[in-house]
């Protein structure tokens, strides 16, 4: 199911929502949120988080080995595809 929001139109991206009663569509979202909450607890005011802090967390996130990638990092897979 696709829904557009003003921000998504401005950024030129599509926003997708999981369908009701379809938990298989939510797995990667729930996993990402769980990992993100290790760095930013619930109710974090992102207006108070610096761009440098966001970049630091993003770098850690991209360099985290993933079970689904046979414990490779996202960056490892990316660079294998680019070469």
Residue 4 has pLDDT above 60, yes or no: no
Tokens of 5: 């929001």
Nearest Cα residue to 59 out of 41, 71, 73, 49: 73
Q: What is the pTM of this model?
A: 0.58
Q: Mean pLDDT in the chain? A: 83
Residue 78 has pLDDT above 90, yes or no: no
| Cross-strand pairs, 66 | 72
Residue 2 has pLDDT above 60, yes or no: no
Average pLDDT over residues 57-64: 88
Residues 19-54 have pLDDT tens digits of: 888 877 777 778 888 888 999 998 999 999 999 999
């Amino acid at each position: 199911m696709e829904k557009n929001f003003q921000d998504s139109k401005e950024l030129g991206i599509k926003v997708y929502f999981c369908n009701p009663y379809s938990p298989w569509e939510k797995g990667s979202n729930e996993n990402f949120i769980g990992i993100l909450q290790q760095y930013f607890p619930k109710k974090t005011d992102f207006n108070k988080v610096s761009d440098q802090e966001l970049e630091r967390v993003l770098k850690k996130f991209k360099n985290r080995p993933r079970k689904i990638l046979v414990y490779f990092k996202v960056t490892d897979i990316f660079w294998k595809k680019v070469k």
